[in-house]
Structure 1
């Protein structure tokens, strides 16, 4: 039996099994891909920055 451990993505809030861990937080593959292809001038870029800041807030809490 092949069980996949799911984590909640800090970006989209969905539970997924594929992605990366940064410090103690998880970013799913889909969000990671969208982030690296988002231009700085796009509105979504600022959302990603805000969500990523939560990694450091939670680490230092």
Structure 2
């Protein structure tokens, strides 16, 4: 029987939950669920400013490093 490899969990910069699957932008993790929601959110949507604020944290953390 072959052992399954467990993927490590990372904390999403948007929803702040620990998830296994997603992408890294610079050094910050965005889970697949948030990535999908961001991509499909219209600029007029009420959630859009929230996503912009959360993603801005990537830039701020890089400039503080």
> Over aligned residue pairs, what C-alpha RMSD do you find?
0.6
Aligned to 1:20: 23
- What residue ranges of structure 2 are gaps of 5+ in the alignment? none
What is the TM-score of this pair, normalised by structure 2? 0.90
How many residues align structurally?
61
Following TM superposition, where does structure 1 have runs of at least 4 consecutive aligned residues deviating by more than 6 angstroms? none
What is the TM-score of this pair, normalised by structure 1? 0.96
Q: What CA distance in whole angstroms lies between the structure 2 residues aligned with 1:44 and 1:5? A: 28
User: 1:54 aligned to 2:57?
Assistant: yes
